[in-house]
Homo-oligomer: A and B are copies of this chain.
Amino acid sequence: MLYFEDFIQGRRFDYSPVRMRTDEMIAFASEFDPQPMHLDEEVGRSSILGGLAASGWHTSAVGMRMMIEAFLGDSSSQGSPGVDFMEWKKPVLAGDILSGFSLVLEARPSKTKPTIGLVKFRNEIENQSGETVAASECSVMFRRRNGEARS
């Protein structure tokens, strides 16, 4: 189990690859982002995106899942206050295989809560051609190893 103290500046967590399936892309977009380029292959092909393209929110949510599997799921994470920025740099198309990493940019103890530390990550998602399709920075709160347990 990873605690605040394990997130040393420069430590990198690599994501396992995830294939973006057409049916999942359409299901997500139908529920949350029903724009034609996310729903219809023909519209996607004739748009600047070049094919059925995932909602940026879908790509971001898949990135969250990849973070959980890579390290967050076995950590003392107490959640995140938000995202500093999120760039959707390239279209994510049906069939793309995404991977990527989270890199520790900085780690500092909380000033107000002695049992907690805040870790800032740079997260990048890339496709099978090695192109970065999304990049973001966010902070996550972790319990400290010897802190009061609060689960």
Q: How large is the interface on A (under 10, 10 to 19, 20 to 34, 35 or more residues)?
A: 35 or more
Partner of A37, one of B36, B37, B79: B79
**A interface, over-half SS:** mixed
CB distance from A64 to the nearest CB of B (A): 5
A83 touches B81 (CB 8 A): no
When A64-B55, A150-B48 are in contact, do A35 and B82 touch as well, CB less than 8 Å?
A: no
CB distance from A85 to the nearest CB of B (A): 6
CB distance from A107 to the nearest CB of B (A): 20
**Seed contacts A47-B151, A82-B86; 11 additional CB < 8 Å A-B pairs:** A31-B61, A32-B62, A32-B65, A57-B64, A60-B60, A79-B88, A80-B88, A82-B88, A83-B85, A85-B85, A86-B86
**Which chain A residues in 8-33 approach chain B with CB under 8 Å?**
28, 31-33
By a CB distance below 8 angstroms, the chain B residues around A99 are none
Partner of A85, one of B35, B47, B80, B82: B82
By a CB distance below 8 angstroms, the chain B residues around A34 are 65, 68, 73
Partner of A83, one of B65, B68, B79, B83: B83
How distant is the Cα of A73 from the Cα of B38 in the complex, in angstroms?
Answer: 12
